[in-house]
Amino acid sequence: MEEQVVLVDPQGSVLGLQEKMQAHRDGALHLAFSVLLYRETDNGKEFLMQQRAMGKYHSGGLWTNTCCSHPRQGETFEQAGLRRLEEEMGIVGLEHLEDVAAFVYRAELDNQLVEHELDHVLVAGVSDLEVTPNVDEVMAYRWWPQAELELALESEPHRFTAWFGKVFEHTLAN
């Protein structure tokens, strides 16, 4: 099945659909979401991060939020986030994701692709969680303590996806 993305204007009004890879070649503004799960520990918050598989169509090997993707036509952001948590990370049983922010960004990526997205940030606090990542999507994952993650973003931003800094910033603000 051909995967399509929902094209939008900067305010989020739907303009139509476009094949996913073509939208990324054209740099067309489209809907996206980024899920970031966290847990509270005795030492503060930890965030569930993934390192993208090298075979991904862009940003392979970079660290990013728990999962991200594009909602399908007629799918809510929460439905899409829960679907991708299962597909990418093997996480099932979560009942709710909170949509805490949305932002537009544009980034030139590898493979002559452009991410130009209206990205919704979806978060949830979790406690006991089983993670069984899809090796086609994820090469590694870890719980990353907040202070250590902030330091890594500041000192080594090239280790992270183009969108993650904004996702993290919006997560902390809410």
Catalytic residue numbers, as ranges: 68, 117
Alpha-carbon distance 11 to 112, whole Å?
26
Nearest to 141, CA basis, from 60, 65, 76 = 65
Q: Is 108 annotated as a binding residue?
A: no
Q: Is 70 annotated as a binding residue?
A: yes
DSSP count for the chain of H helices, then E strands? 4, 9
Q: Is 30 annotated as a binding residue?
A: yes
DSSP assignment of 72-135, as one string? Answer: PTT--HHHHHHHHHHHHH--------EEEEEEEEEEE-GGG-EEEEEEEEEEEE-SS------T
Q: Is 24 annotated as a binding residue?
A: yes
Bridge-based pairing state of the strands 63-64 and 44-52: antiparallel
Q: Is 40 annotated as a binding residue?
A: no
Binding residues for Mg(2+): 88
Binding residues for Mn(2+): 24, 30, 70, 115, 117
Binding residues: 24, 30, 70, 88, 115, 117
